Amino acid sequence: MTTDTEMAAILGFMPPFAREMGMTVDHMQGGLPVIAFDYGPHVMGRPGFLHGGAMSGLMEIAAIAALRVTVAAEEPAVRIKPVNITINFMRGGREARTYALGEVTRIGRRVANVEAKAWQDDPAKPIATVFMNFLLSSPKQV
C-alpha cells in the first residue's frame, strides 16, 4: 500500500473523495496504477456486498489515473473532463479488498476513450467494467 503522496503524484492531486473511500495506489502494473480500497461499511451496499456506486467510483478514479499517467508523458498540462461513464456489473463484490486498473484505448485530439475494470481475488474475473469518454483541452487555449 502506498501513500497519499504517491497517489497525488499520479493524479496530479489527492481528491478528498478518494481519501474518504480509503483509495490508495496498491501497485503499478505496466506503468499504470492499480487503485484499491478495503471492504468496510463505507463501501457496503446490500449487507455483505460491495455497493455498485462505490466500485464505480473506484474504477472512475482508476480510469482518470490511467489517463493522467498516459497524457502526462506527452502533454502534462492537458485538462481532462469526464463526459460520460457506462458501467457493467458482472459479479457481486464480496467482503474483500477491491482493485481497479484503467486502460487508455485511444487518445485523440479532443477525446480520450478509457476503460477500467475492477476485481477482487482474480484479475481474470472482473466484478465490473467501465467505459468512459473524456474531453481533452489545453489550458493554453483561450
Partner 1 sequence: MPETPPESAEKPSGFDPSAFEGILSRLGHGGHLGMRYRAHGVGWVEMELPYAERLIGDVETGVIASGPIISLMDNATSLSVWTAIGEFRPQVTLDLRVDYMRPATPGKTVIGRGECYKVTRSMAFVRGIAHDGDADDPVAHVAGTFIRIDNFLG
Residue 19 vs 27, nearer CB to partner 1:
19
Residue 30 vs 122, nearer CB to partner 1:
122
- Minimum distance from residue 4 beta carbon to partner 1 (Å): 13
Distance CA 100, CA 59 (A): 5
Distance CA 82, CA 64 (A): 9
- Minimum distance from residue 90 beta carbon to partner 1 (Å): 9
Residue 24 vs 56, nearer CB to partner 1:
56
Residues that bind partner 1 (CB under 8 A): 13, 15-21, 41-49, 51-54, 56-58, 60-61, 82-89, 92
Q: φ and ψ at 18, to 5 degrees?
A: -65, -40
- Minimum distance from residue 68 beta carbon to partner 1 (Å): 13
Query: What angle do helix axes 4-11 and 52-72 make, rounded to 10 degrees?
Result: 60
Residue 9 vs 87, nearer CB to partner 1:
87
Which residue from 111, 95, 91 is spatially nearest to 132, judged by alpha carbons? 111
Q: Do residues 97 and 39 touch, judged by C-beta distance below 8 A?
A: yes
